Structure 1
Amino acid sequence: MMVKTAGRWLVLASVLVLAAGSRAAEIFPVGPEMQKRVDFWVKIYTQYSKEEMVLHDADHLEVIYDVANVHESFFERLTRRGRKRYLESVTQEYRTILAKLATLKEPIDTAGLSDKELFVYNLWAHVQDADKFARAKDNIHAQAGLRSLYQSGLQRSGRYLTEIKKIFRHYGLPEDLAYLPHVESAYNHRAYSKVGAAGMWQFTGSTGRLYLRVNYSLDERYDPWLSTDAAARLLRHNYEYLGTWPLALTAYNHGAGGMKKAKTLLGTDNLEEIIKRYDGRAFGFASKNFYAEFIAAVQVAKNYQRYFGDIAFDKPDSFKIFQTPSQMTLDALASLLQIDKTAIAQLNPALRPPILRSQRRIPAGYSLRLPANTAVETSEWLAKAAPGSAQEPPQDADSYIVEKGDNLSTIAQNFGVSIAEIMDLNDIRNPRSLRVGQKLTMPAARSGRTAAAQVAAFKKDSSAVQPQAQAHFQPEAIDSSAYLLARARHHAASAAQYGPSPAADSAGYFVVTFDEPQDNVIIVQSEESVGHLAEWLGITPQKLRQLNRMGPHANVQVGRKLTVDFTRVSQRDFHRQRLEFHRSLQQGFFSQFKVQGTRTYTIKNGDSVFFLAEIIDLPLYDSKQPDLKAIVHDVYASPATDKKSALREALKPIGMKIDD
């Protein structure tokens, strides 16, 4: 009787599994052509290591020519151009074969083909296209294996998956969407791409601001729970706007507007048909394969033991959630609750360095996560965090009035702090801009001396400084490499390799090249859009376009002069919002990249930062940075007596040396 009952349960379980699979197939359909793409990505996720480069056709992914085994230590020593040349040499043989096949008339006499030519010919036997070989010779793509990355993502997913599925259920969305981070970040909540996408769900700054707080104090893209909620809302919007999940998911990569355009232009919502026929400029390999990557990721995740065996999944975080009753610093909060602030920072990755250093306060009403074993009840915590204590200024903050002969180097030295910290706290973009009588907010002195003692020590030592009419910048005294590092905005290695560095020294530098507007004309800066500028001005994008005789959908280019309207906001308020935006961008970049080492390179006439970043393999903050001549000019225009030494220091942070 028990066997019979067990059998019934087994049949019932099988029926439930089949029913669930059928529903998933209806929600996330996969046609014959899409299945070929899915099969390819399953192989990439499960078979090929990062040392294996799969050479395949970019449109017919089932056509795999070869797997180039590239030893990691060799490959990483190459520059980006070196890697490209190496792969070019590997693929050239197949281009030559495809070019030869393209010249032969059908039916091709296979007896006259070499073994490798016959192999390539047979790879394409299933494709009925007279020009297939001619197209294929310029369509070879190299894809690195992702087995180790996917396996790491599986392990990390244990920390988040239950909560992610709960959030998606809350919004009435398919739970399988919870596996999308396998494609985006491998569940790394500190992930940061070279194009500025951040967090587990890889929100760009502009998209992130639609759903999250992204500013100098908070970047909720890095918060795995808040960003999951934002991703759920974005995916729901995409689905409601486009009508199918294949299009909605592709829009997560390509943009909802772009997919709507493709759908309207071709008159179909069939993704396979859109991939085949749509030739949008930005609709490239990544966008065409995003849906297939997702389906493959889901299949592998649900059958991980078949590919990876047992996985030691990370355990979910355990925490309590409290809302801060008023603004308070992290130091004050940690002291009140007697909790290590490092533990608070780990549970609240949206907190950025200014809050982590208690230079800015945690906002009132912020939902803060605290360790689950925190020995404090909500009522007790609220009583301790009374408004009186919360309104105290940031701990150890002080001020200093700039006097004649001051420069940032001597002030920083006498206060026992860094130049970067002073620039950061006071929004100083150029150290030359100090004014006599200017009030500076000073961070805590690491030496522990009081402000009075610091000022007294400074005045005592300042007798050696000759009085001048205005404070000025002295390159021979300042940490020139630090300042010019901010100018160059370059670092050589991703934090993905060396671990997150949210409070890295480089994160403290903030330099922009624009000033507060003096009239109604501004110059567009990198990363700014019509939407950004209109928002800061308090007007509609259409109004801004009309002021500048732009088309209804036109955007702006970096360096363009725009006429703006300051009737709704002051020039100062506009400038403040603009600074906050660029500070946020720079902070996000600098918190994820750091200098790994140096290489020797002889500067040539006409070299630019963009070119040097390419040959040295550095991530660029943006492509509109001043060229190398501007950095050299700054050094040689300074009063430094030893120009060569100053230039040597200035070039260190971007991985360059000057031969003696």
Structure 2
Amino acid sequence: MIKMSTYALVATSLVAVFSGSGCSGNVKKPTADTPKLQKASLDTRTASTTASVRKASYRSTASSDSPTQASLDQDFDTWERIFHGFKLPNHTNNAQVQRFVNQYGRNPRQLGMLSERASVFLHMIVHEVDRRNLPTELALLPFVESAFNPDVFSHAGAAGLWQFIPDTGKRYGLQQAKDYDARMDPFAATGAALNYLEKLNADFNGDWLLALAAYNCGEGRVQREIDRNRSKGLPTDFWSLSLPKETREYVPRLLAFKELTRNAKRYGIALADTPNEAKLAQLRIDKPVNLRQAAMQAGLDADSLTALNPYFRTGITTPRYSNRIILPREHAQRLTQVIAALPAASPRAGSSKAHQYNTLATTQTGKKAAKGTQYTRVKTKLRSAQLYKRKVNA
């Protein structure tokens, strides 16, 4: 969850995949030629004049000698890659962390199911976390925020993997319209969330627990509690602050997921197979595409593309906002050929509902969440994990 507060917009490199914006660019219409699947990472200096599939990873204006672990062997498991990059202090013995370790650990099968959904996005997220040399614990944050469901809303209006509320999303470059919501774009939202987290970490002098707390309840609230404790001569670390109940639980939840995934065998959890390779690809194209029609013509589950591209809220792509389509990498070549051959879709072919939202995968989190609650409990989000994975990999 991200609360509204005052800060400078730092989303100039929101997602540096496509000209640093994640929004629709000026690209020529695709030809009938079959685009080649690119193994190299996306580079914003090159622009294809045809529909082209590129590796689903990031490039930015960061210097080439920035620390990175992205060169690990392909057979290196993504989970091990995450564990290798843990940097936060070990708080496993903290009573609040243990509370959630015990609570979640009682359902190892459900956690295994949840890891299935996470496996779709983990490589993309950890690649960017690594590139920025951030603690890989951050790659686990969507477990707490959205259970790795990009098409999920909270009662407070937060949306997507990283649960941006509307105003904060806009401040970090995530456009929102009736038929498009970049908060639900896994790539754009990941870039925006990490930008925000880096900013918060700087605000709190490198204290990641305070930064995470601020991500949940807002930096203003955290700073006020720090100032209050300091005026009383009290400690100002996360565990000593009088924060909202949700925030006091938010950080321990993340630390509990860290413990449970790192020691999965100890807790009887079977983590999903996650080879160190991209599971997603991105296609550039400048015409509206009916995602369900494209999936079916490629012989895939009708909902497989809408599950990956929920930011197109009608199931029809909107090039005026974004000319990117996320594809399952294993089917990218076939889908590229199908999409290139499809005629431009009519917006009227999308949802007929007044709000024009694609309701194929959309869920609202929580049953009786209190006002302001933007995270959801594991149980409310696990029931569709297997179905979601089946759609994406169909």
2:238 is the alignment partner of 1:271: yes
Q: Cα offset for 1:319?
A: 4.3
2:2 is the alignment partner of 1:39: no
Q: Cα offset for 1:203?
A: 1.9
1:191, 1:199 within 8 Å by CA — same for their partners in 2? yes
| Distance change in 2, residues 1:215/1:304 (3 Å) | same
2:104, 2:111 within 8 Å by CA — same for their partners in 1? yes
Q: Cα offset for 1:349?
A: 2.2
| Paired position in structure 1 for 2:281 | 320
Q: Cα offset for 1:618?
A: 8.0
Counterparts of 2:169 and 2:305 in 1: how far apart (Å)? Answer: 23
Q: Cα offset for 1:383?
A: 8.5
What are the within-5 Å matches in structure 2 for residues 315-354 of structure 1?
318-324=279-285, 326=286, 328-331=287-290, 339=298, 342-353=303-314
What are the within-5 Å matches in structure 2 for residues 158-237 of structure 1?
158-211=119-172, 212-237=174-199
| Distance change in 2, residues 1:286/1:383 (3 Å) | closer
Counterparts of 2:370 and 2:225 in 1: how far apart (Å)? Answer: 31
Q: Cα offset for 1:338?
A: 5.8
| Distance change in 2, residues 1:318/1:290 (3 Å) | closer
| Paired position in structure 2 for 1:366 | 323
1:153, 1:188 within 8 Å by CA — same for their partners in 2? no
**Residue 354 of structure 2 is aligned with which of 509, 533, 545?**
509
Runs of 5+ consecutive residues of structure 2 not aligned to the other structure: 1-79, 373-394
What are the within-5 Å matches in structure 2 for residues 482-497 of structure 1?
none
Runs of 5+ consecutive residues of structure 1 not aligned to the other structure: 1-16, 50-146, 398-442, 445-501, 511-582, 594-616, 623-660
- After superposition, the C-alpha distances for 1:415-455 in whole angstroms (9 at most, x for unaligned) are xxxxxxxxxxxxxxxxxxxxxxxxxxxx47xxxxxxxxxxx
| Distance change in 2, residues 1:186/1:308 (3 Å) | farther
| Paired position in structure 2 for 1:304 | 264
| Distance change in 2, residues 1:363/1:376 (3 Å) | farther
SS in 1 for 2:176: coil
1:250, 1:259 within 8 Å by CA — same for their partners in 2? yes
Counterparts of 1:224 and 1:339 in 2: how far apart (Å)? Answer: 23
What amino acid is the match of 1:250?
Answer: A
- After superposition, the C-alpha distances for 1:300-336 in whole angstroms (9 at most, x for unaligned) are 1100111124344478874432222x3x22249967x
- After superposition, the C-alpha distances for 1:48-68 in whole angstroms (9 at most, x for unaligned) are x6xxxxxxxxxxxxxxxxxxx
SS in 2 for 1:227: helix
1:199, 1:224 within 8 Å by CA — same for their partners in 2? yes
What are the within-5 Å matches in structure 2 for residues 436-455 of structure 1?
443=348
1:222, 1:350 within 8 Å by CA — same for their partners in 2? yes
Greater radius of gyration (CA): 1
Counterparts of 2:258 and 2:167 in 1: how far apart (Å)? Answer: 28
| Paired position in structure 2 for 1:564 | none
Of Structure 1 and Structure 2, which has the larger fraction of its residues in helix? 1
Counterparts of 2:216 and 2:180 in 1: how far apart (Å)? Answer: 24
| Paired position in structure 2 for 1:242 | 204
Q: Cα offset for 1:43?
A: 0.9
SS in 2 for 1:180: helix
Q: Cα offset for 1:376?
A: 6.9
Q: Cα offset for 1:260?
A: 1.7
1:28, 1:245 within 8 Å by CA — same for their partners in 2? no
Counterparts of 1:342 and 1:155 in 2: how far apart (Å)? Answer: 17
Q: TM-score, normalised by structure 2?
A: 0.58
| Paired position in structure 1 for 2:21 | none
**Residue 363 of structure 2 is aligned with which of 581, 586, 592?**
592
What are the within-5 Å matches in structure 2 for residues 322-471 of structure 1?
322-324=283-285, 326=286, 328-331=287-290, 339=298, 342-353=303-314, 356=315, 358=316, 361-363=318-320, 366-372=323-329, 373-375=331-333, 395=346, 443=348
| Paired position in structure 1 for 2:33 | none
Tell me the C-alpha RMSD between the 2 structures: 4.3
| Distance change in 2, residues 1:151/1:194 (3 Å) | farther
Counterparts of 2:273 and 2:101 in 1: how far apart (Å)? Answer: 21
| Paired position in structure 2 for 1:28 | 89
Q: Cα offset for 1:41?
A: 1.6
Q: Cα offset for 1:272?
A: 2.0
1:150, 1:182 within 8 Å by CA — same for their partners in 2? no
Counterparts of 2:130 and 2:189 in 1: how far apart (Å)? Answer: 15
2:215 is the alignment partner of 1:252: yes
Counterparts of 1:619 and 1:273 in 2: how far apart (Å)? Answer: 26
